[in-house]
């Protein structure tokens, strides 16, 4: 890839570039918990001003913490279901497949057509890992998932930019079209809704935090046909930056205000 890639995206889609930068920078650190080889290789080949992201430690720490915890959860699922199919909703420039691949899984990266166009320039994916360029709220994407079986759906870095109605549409598409579905859904803590200014690089894109949930129960009617497995969070990922987070994690207020990863499954009777 000799020419630099100039992304033509804005708003919430643009936030994928901040996440990509955060993973590249962290991967270059001496004691990294994970190494994102693609991000390291290609971050300098993207024609984009990352200066605000470089100064935004709040954003970077959040991205790394959630990446570590999501990696743990996805790895555990794949170990229990080695031939599963994973659908990564709003994938951006995520590279988790390359860290998780056991040689047996099938993986779909789903995002907006303009985002997938950029992704395809960088990754050129096919075979057991492929892309779908359709808006996540459009049921048409479900027909592009050809391999079924035990299903894992990752919703990372998306729900906070959608309304409750929008998030509900995604969960309904999954419920209506897939059996054996397990969902890992990242949610902003409700305390941080409308406070996107805490992450300057996100604010710079014009994105707005409009939705949050502290517990599975906060999702309300959108989870009809699902049952709760666990309310998780990214605090153990934050421990990478300071041992103080280990003590902080013991406080109820810490669990309340941190990013959540809600884990739930489709009910058998809904299949």
For the chain, percent of residues with pLDDT exceeding 70: 94
Per-residue pLDDT at 59 exceeds 90: no
Residue 139 to residue 159: CA distance in whole angstroms: 17
Q: Is residue 102 part of a domain?
A: yes
Model pLDDT, residue 198? 72
The verdict on pTM exceeding 0.75 is: yes
Joined together, the tokens standing for residue 5 give: 């890639």
The predicted-structure confidence for 18-41, as pLDDT tens digits, reads as follows 898 999 999 998 888 889 888 898
Q: Is residue 4 part of a domain?
A: no
Residue 139 to residue 57: CA distance in whole angstroms: 36
Model pLDDT, residue 270? 63
Q: Tell me the residue range of the domain where 88 lies.
A: 11-270
Q: Is residue 1 part of a domain?
A: no
Residue 217 to residue 222: CA distance in whole angstroms: 10
Joined together, the tokens standing for residue 217 give: 């129960």
Q: Residue range 180-186: average pLDDT?
A: 97
Q: Is residue 48 part of a domain?
A: yes
Q: Is residue 209 part of a domain?
A: yes
The strand pair at 151-155 and 85-89 is best described as parallel
CATH number at 215 reads: 3.40.50.150
The predicted-structure confidence for 61-98, as pLDDT tens digits, reads as follows 888 999 999 999 999 999 999 999 999 999 999 999 99
pLDDT category, 249, cuts 50, 70, 90?
low
Instruction: Report the domain count for the chain.
Output: 1
Q: Is residue 58 part of a domain?
A: yes
User: How many Cβ atoms sit within 10 Å of the Cβ of residue 224?
Assistant: 13
Model pLDDT, residue 242? 75
At 102, is the secondary structure helix, strand, or coil?
Answer: coil
User: Is the sign of the CA dihedral 191, 195, 197, 201 positive or negative?
Assistant: positive
Residue 214 to residue 123: CA distance in whole angstroms: 35
User: 152-167 as b/e, with b when 16 or more CB fall inside 10 Å?
Assistant: bbbbbbbbbbbebebb
At 263, is the secondary structure helix, strand, or coil?
Answer: strand
Closest CA to 258 of 236, 234, 242, 241: 234
Q: Is residue 5 part of a domain?
A: no
pLDDT category, 213, cuts 50, 70, 90?
very high
């Amino acid at each position: 890839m000799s020419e630099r890639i100039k992304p033509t995206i804005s708003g919430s889609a643009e936030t994928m570039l901040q996440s990509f930068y955060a993973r590249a920078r962290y991967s270059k650190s001496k004691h990294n918990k994970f190494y994102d080889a693609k991000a390291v290789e290609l971050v300098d080949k993207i024609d984009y001003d990352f200066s605000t992201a470089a100064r935004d430690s709040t954003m970077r720490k959040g991205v790394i913490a959630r990446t570590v915890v999501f990696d743990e959860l996805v790895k555990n699922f794949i170990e229990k279901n080695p031939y599963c199919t994973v659908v990564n909703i709003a994938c951006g420039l995520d590279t988790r497949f390359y860290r998780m691949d056991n040689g047996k899984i099938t993986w779909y990266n789903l995002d907006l057509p303009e985002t997938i166009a950029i992704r395809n320039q960088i990754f050129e994916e096919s075979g057991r890992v492929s892309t779908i360029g359709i808006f996540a709220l459009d049921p048409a994407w479900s027909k592009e998932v050809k391999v079924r079986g035990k299903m894992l759906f990752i919703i990372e870095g998306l729900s906070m930019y959608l309304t409750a109605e929008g998030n509900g549409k995604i969960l309904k598409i999954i419920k209506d079209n897939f059996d054996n579905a397990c969902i890992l859904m990242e949610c902003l803590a409700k305390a941080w809704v409308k406070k996107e200014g805490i992450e300057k690089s996100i604010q710079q894109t014009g994105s707005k935090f409009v939705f949050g949930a502290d517990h599975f129960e906060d999702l309300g009617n959108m989870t009809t046909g699902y049952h709760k497995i666990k309310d998780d969070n990214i605090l153990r990922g934050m421990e990478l930056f300071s041992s103080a987070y280990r003590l902080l994690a013991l406080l109820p207020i810490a669990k309340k205000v941190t990013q959540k990863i809600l884990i739930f499954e489709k009910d058998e009777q809904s299949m």
